[in-house]
Structure 1
Amino acid sequence: MTTQEVKHKLATILSGDVKGYSRLLAKDQEGTIRTLNAHKGVMANLIQQCQGKVIDAPGDNVHAEFPSVMDAVQCAVEIQKELKNRNDELPEPRRMEFRFGINLGEVSEKEGKVFGDGLNVAARIQLLADAGGICLSGTVYEQIKDKLEFRYEYIGKQTVKNILEPVRVYQILLDAQAASLVSRWKRAGLNYWKRVHPAIKIILAVAALINAANIYWQLYTKPSPTSVEITSKERVALQLPDKPSIAVLPFTNMSNDPTQEFFSDGLTEEIINGLSKVPKIFVIARNSSFAYKGKPIDIKQAGREMGVQYVMEGSVRREGNQLRITAQLIDATTGRHVFSERYDRELKDIFTTQDEITIKVLTALQVALKEGEYARFKSRGVSNVEAYFKLLEAWDVFQQVNKESNARVRRLAEEALTLEPVSSKAYAIIGMTYFWDYWLDPSKPPDESIDTGIRMAKKAIAFDRGNSYAHGVLGMLYVNKGEYDRAVQESEIAASLDPGALTNLGSTLMHACRFTEAISVLQKALRYNPVRPHSSCLMNLANSYSQIEQYDQAVYYYKELLQKQPDHFFAHLGLANTYSKMGRMEDARKEAAEVLRINPKFSLERFATRVRFKNPMYKERYL
């Protein structure tokens, strides 16, 4: 054979075979061959209709070449739909399911025969597909991800025989079920299923079958919190800190436009952020302050519930470019008004006005700022008013925590960057969107999301080293990358700049398997958030107690979280695991049922690939 006789080309190759073909042959050879030929006839017709051609079809295999990636993918989907319809008409023992792999790569052709890496990769990734499923190489996915109305799941990099670099592989989610839970465990080659207690294994398997037709629920979407009741009057008052203490309640939006709510919330948060940068005062974190939003407030009671001496409240009215802000500071121990001020300003003066209000509070509390503290106090990561409004809106959307809102947040932050290219706050928010990509968007390679997020967070810090949020984001991204010491280092910087970042520090300490330290930090974080603790604070407290085998404490904090958010997926999952370790199998079964009620298609395999602990032993115990 001479090189002139061989034609080299770039081609889209579809490769398929029958899942469990040998088993079908052993049961009914004649019927299996008859079904196979009928299915092959269907495939040949559809391949031709999609401008493709069958290049080989030995045994139960089929290989086809297409002029375009889109033609190949659409054809594979149509084939699977048609074969499913035909299988539904057959007795169950004769049903035959194909699995497909599609790759775009270089092949060679001689005398009508096609061979080479492009075909080999397609044949290899076909083996990763579920029965009735379709897997794509990374080269195919990049061509179609924004062009075809399908959903995709990234299932990792796969080593392919005789191919130097691992191949990125995606699965098309043809319907809500996507892929069976057990087959995905087997495909990943994981043994986590074996480690699940038999009682829980049975209920998971049964419930998975019962719920197979339910709507696909994205595993890492944050559950929507239920309404939180303010602590009762009977609750014992917290001891006042040994320094001036304050809670800033959400400013009321007095504008005619209810969509301006994000502006009044943003003003409140900026005042909280500014005060939190001053180490000489104790400031209640946002979550607990905002627990009072939209509720009638007894200032003295609120002060007792949050354990602070002073409470600030106010209102905002925006009419075009004009602002009217009222702010009053009240001594919650006596009900005395310390001051009440009104600020009539133009919109362009919003930063100056925020600083005026904050300095007024510091003066009333008799707190003097040193020169270095004043510079950090005034830093907010954005100086352009239009960019600031973009970021306020982005932060408001961020609270939804889902794939669509995450994409919108990134767009808003990128728009803010076009207005202010050196905005540390914008870069930090963009970095956080890549953190959420890791959890919310299985179609994106997780390593790429993490690396991009780290670059964005580092840019934010380069523009403002005092940006606590950016350091916190970088810490969380390092956890996902498995660089635990760096994660703790960044989180410690964040917490030193803003006590509101203590929850972040406690979480990174937990992932670094420093559980006793994590518990100490998270308990301190609870004091800054006494009314509505952040869910991750309670969750990671429970996880840490469970890891050091203080199971009663773990159960207490899991239940505390579930009282506030009854459908918190990870709390039910952790509680099931903890009950199992305690030997309380009936309780474990109930929690396992709750896990599958909330997420009928929970994938332990995918969850296991995302869980991060520095010591693998603790990862096994967590799962």
Structure 2
Amino acid sequence: MAEERVKRKLSAILCADVVEYSRLMGEDEAATLNALNTCDAEIIEPTVKEHNGRIFKRLGDGFLVEFSSAVDSVECALAWQKHVEVKNYPLQFRIGINLGDVIQQGDDMYGDGVNIAARVEKLADPGGICISQDVFKHIRKKVSLGYEYLGEQQVKNISEPVGVYRLLTKPEDAGKVIGDDKQVVSKRFSSRQRMFTIAASILAFIVIAFFVGKLTYEPQIESVASEENMTYALPEEPSIAVMPFKAIGGSEDENLISDGILASIATALSKTPRLFTVDYNSTSKYKEGDKTIKDIAEELSVRYVLEGSLQKSGDQVRVNVKLVDALNGESVWAEKYDRSLDDLFAMQDDITREVIKALQVELYEGEYGNVIARGTGNLEAYLKIVQGYQHWKSGNKEGDAIAQRLAREAIEMDPNYAPAYGLLSRTLWREVVFRTTKDHQKTLQEALETALKAVELDYSADTLSQLGWVYARFFKQFDKGLEYAEKGLALNSNNSRALTNLGLTLWVLGRCEDAINQIDKALRISPIPSANILMSAAFAYRDCQRYNECIALAQKAVELSPDSIISHSALTSCYALSDRKEEAKNQAKELLRINPNFKARDFSKIYPHTPEAKERAARIRNSLIMAGLPSE
């Protein structure tokens, strides 16, 4: 059978999107969506049809439209912008148009023609229109407009730069062409002059080489990532790692803001359906390093890497950001932002939105609101939680106490901030684990109440899975705990914390193989895992009596958090169960150094009251006693 031929054709492609859509959604999501839907129904759809166009894709606030005529596309864009202005819609659009070769698959369009239109649109002013040089050539003498040449622009995967014009729509500008269009104006040099210039250049080059004595030529080829060198196979969907933004000034404020940007953008992208995002706990490890994009992509097994820098001056911040395709070394998207700190959240949303669009991930109605959902508009409260989690990850009682204080302070600043309640709940149940609370029941009750409050304010993978763990681990409501943990993961299967919490819940239920399956998925999303994920995996492998794997994981957890009583307890019991008595005793001493009140029974009372669970609990308790830890 003959292979089906790809369907190609020449089309004018119009690309449009709403200016500052993220900010508008943050201020009033319902009003913004209503305005966009109304504008689509009353202006965009009718205007496109009137000018013989076809909308072939809607991307949240964006539209891609096909025309068979360049003139129709430009006249449609003019009418579109005029109607929006005259009817005083609370929205503005940028529009870009390109004429080029496209590939048609079903009702959709792909290829250079579409990519160039998207790039041209970015150069348009709010309420304005930009066109490519090919469109300019077709409409210049057919539409009464003026044109301003913006120069040549680079476009991803297009070897030659693209000339771009801004449309001038005032009557007095009709017929004008402002700027130097070297691609349209006839060449000033004759062939003989060009030959003379080339010959002179060659001669000069030879003379310089002669005096230097030796001429070497080494082409500068940027190294690119190879799928063969990756730990995991690339997923089918686009895969991305968000790097820590480099703090140019190096101040504490800049570093804290950098950490916050990393966590916010990575978390938002992880909620994006049809996109694989590496957990920010893994990428944060690159903050102090100087790894190349190639190295990062291969170590984390991703195709795309988002990197950036920021510089703070007073209440202003400048952020440069770039999205790189590691498999070919090319920049997919780049932007510079100069914003006040008050606009930090809107800027993060803008970056998230542009990355999603650059990767051509289509979001359906309602999905974008879930992606950018954030719990506070209070920058100080937000940064306290960023800082609080840094202390919480230390895994010891001192870090836990600081994290709890910061969480309570954030709640005072914003009583409706869900992540603050989530962090507070975590610090409270750890007080019970660390035996630093005088009233276990009261502390556990507050841990449950704050976990429930977090769910009430933010029904998400993070909050639901955390609530499930609290119910299962501390209240022995195993069925309810599993129900919440599974609901959380159903909301976002790309969330390493939800996978880990479900794994821990399954571990407590005695389903260690199922727990390993979930935590292994978390390790794929977080290839450079946190001590918490490693410790969770160690417990599951231990209870499946796979002690060598338990020891390897627990050792890594202890390296990351040397004062974590939880990681040390896993390593102690695995050494003892492996009959590595001296190492078990040494780890027991470390446990007592960290917490002199540690008792073996503390880590064996968490299982259900079933014969199998009781046997497992006895095995763990005895291993800790064998290592030299007190039972009661």
TM-score when normalising by structure 2:
0.57
Q: How much has 1:248 moved relative to structure 2? A: 0.4
Aligned to 1:544: 540
Q: 1:388 aligns with which of 369, 382, 385?
A: 382
Alignment pair present for 1:588 and 2:581? yes
Q: 2:318 aligns with which of 324, 328, 351?
A: 324
Q: Alpha carbons of 1:603 and 1:234: their partners in 2 closer, same or farther (altered >3 Å)? A: farther
Aligned to 1:617: 615
Q: Alpha carbons of 1:418 and 1:542: their partners in 2 closer, same or farther (altered >3 Å)? A: closer
Q: Which SS does the other structure have where 1:416 is aligned? A: helix
Q: Alpha carbons of 1:464 and 1:570: their partners in 2 closer, same or farther (altered >3 Å)? A: closer
Aligned to 2:474: 480
Aligned to 1:375: 369
- Which residue type is aligned with residue 342 of structure 1? K
- Which residue type is aligned with residue 251 of structure 2? D
Q: Quick one: percent identity of the two aligned structures?
A: 31
Q: How much has 1:297 moved relative to structure 2? A: 1.7
Q: How much has 1:272 moved relative to structure 2? A: 0.4
Q: How much has 1:504 moved relative to structure 2? A: 1.8
Q: Alpha carbons of 1:597 and 1:432: their partners in 2 closer, same or farther (altered >3 Å)? A: closer
- Per-residue CA deviation, residues 395-418 of structure 1 (Å, 9 max, x unaligned), is 344334444443443333333333
Alignment pair present for 1:519 and 2:513? no
Aligned to 1:500: 496
2:384 and 2:561 mapped to 1: Cα distance?
Answer: 30
1:329 and 1:491 mapped to 2: Cα distance?
Answer: 33
- Does the CA-based 8 Å contact 1:572-1:591 persist in structure 2? no
- Per-residue CA deviation, residues 218-270 of structure 1 (Å, 9 max, x unaligned), is xxxxxxxxxxxxxxx99654211111000001111123633431111011100
- Does the CA-based 8 Å contact 2:530-2:560 persist in structure 1? no
Q: Alpha carbons of 1:464 and 1:527: their partners in 2 closer, same or farther (altered >3 Å)? A: same
Q: How much has 1:565 moved relative to structure 2? A: 6.0
Alignment pair present for 1:599 and 2:592? yes
1:287 and 1:259 mapped to 2: Cα distance?
Answer: 20
Q: What's the Cα RMSD here?
A: 2.7
2:582 and 2:423 mapped to 1: Cα distance?
Answer: 40
* Residue range with higher mean Cα deviation, 385-394 or 238-247: 385-394
Q: 2:448 aligns with which of 450, 454, 469?
A: 454
Q: Which SS does the other structure have where 1:288 is aligned? A: helix
Q: 2:289 aligns with which of 295, 301, 304?
A: 295
Alignment of 1:119-134 (within 5 A): none
- Does the CA-based 8 Å contact 2:496-2:523 persist in structure 1? no
- Does the CA-based 8 Å contact 1:475-1:486 persist in structure 2? yes
Q: How much has 1:431 moved relative to structure 2? A: 1.8
Give ranges in structure 2 of 5+ residues lacking alignment: 1-226, 622-632
- Per-residue CA deviation, residues 199-218 of structure 1 (Å, 9 max, x unaligned), is xxxxxxxxxxxxxxxxxxxx
Q: 1:554 aligns with which of 550, 554, 561?
A: 550
Aligned to 1:307: 301
2:324 and 2:266 mapped to 1: Cα distance?
Answer: 16
Q: Alpha carbons of 1:345 and 1:235: their partners in 2 closer, same or farther (altered >3 Å)? A: same
Q: How much has 1:562 moved relative to structure 2? A: 5.5
Of structures 1 and 2, the one scoring higher in RCO (CA 8 A, sep 6+) is 1
Alignment of 1:234-245 (within 5 A): 237-245=231-239
Aligned to 2:77: none
Aligned to 1:421: 415
- Does the CA-based 8 Å contact 2:431-2:437 persist in structure 1? no
Give ranges in structure 1 of 5+ residues lacking alignment: 1-232
Q: Alpha carbons of 1:537 and 1:403: their partners in 2 closer, same or farther (altered >3 Å)? A: closer
Q: Alpha carbons of 1:361 and 1:613: their partners in 2 closer, same or farther (altered >3 Å)? A: same
Q: Alpha carbons of 1:469 and 1:264: their partners in 2 closer, same or farther (altered >3 Å)? A: same
1:269 and 1:592 mapped to 2: Cα distance?
Answer: 39
Q: Alpha carbons of 1:493 and 1:444: their partners in 2 closer, same or farther (altered >3 Å)? A: farther
2:583 and 2:293 mapped to 1: Cα distance?
Answer: 41
Aligned to 2:529: 533
Q: Alpha carbons of 1:398 and 1:443: their partners in 2 closer, same or farther (altered >3 Å)? A: closer
- Which residue type is aligned with residue 545 of structure 2? E
- Per-residue CA deviation, residues 525-570 of structure 1 (Å, 9 max, x unaligned), is 111111x222233333333233233344434434554566677655
Alignment pair present for 1:355 and 2:352? no
Q: Alpha carbons of 1:407 and 1:423: their partners in 2 closer, same or farther (altered >3 Å)? A: same
- Per-residue CA deviation, residues 453-502 of structure 1 (Å, 9 max, x unaligned), is 11111112112213x33223322322122222222222223333342221
Q: Which SS does the other structure have where 1:371 is aligned? A: coil
1:343 and 1:567 mapped to 2: Cα distance?
Answer: 40
1:332 and 1:621 mapped to 2: Cα distance?
Answer: 48
Alignment of 1:36-435 (within 5 A): 237-255=231-249, 257-435=251-429
2:387 and 2:549 mapped to 1: Cα distance?
Answer: 39
- Which residue type is aligned with residue 622 of structure 1? I
